[in-house]
Structure 1
């Protein structure tokens, strides 16, 4: 059974929309809601129309570029013993936890847009 690209895009739209809604309780919710909502819109739009290749490349570059601000915190996280802490609550004494979550979220968002680029038929 092959899942259509349109179905995958609708699933991605729902997932990134949920990611956006979950961000509403964050102190910096406007930034993260906007990022995930933009990716959700890209996914749902791509289910019906083709976005310009350059636009998708620029969005991916922006997401990866922004993720670089959190890369050092992600490296800090990789060096701790208790990796499961990433699933806990925010601890202000451990900024690498939130930074790692944000780094990984940006990578997931970039992958969602990369899917749109890879499925193009040009």
Structure 2
């Protein structure tokens, strides 16, 4: 199942005051970027997950937002993403409030080293 394009379009529209949302396909879902910074994923089942980190975990925990987990050959793994609260699906202000929390976590994340070109 492919990522829910309607949900991606909704996120992009709601995030227009913050920046431009782009997507990249990921394991049946999509990774979402705002002006080049990763801030969310849409899972293959159509759920929206915002990036989290140690600084924002308490806020996510307080809202009861589960951590993203997956099953890899019988082993349960997790990623630093939290399930979006239900109200983000129909309230653009709430979507932006939680998305900005994810965007802030994206800005704090260590940058990946880029490969150097051979001369």
TM-score, reference length from structure 1 = 0.31
Q: TM-score if structure 2 supplies the norm length?
A: 0.32
Counting strand residues as a fraction of each chain, which structure ranks higher? 2
User: Max radius of gyration: which structure?
Assistant: 1
Higher share of residues assigned helix: 1
Larger relative CO (CA 8 A, sep 6+): 1 or 2? Answer: 1
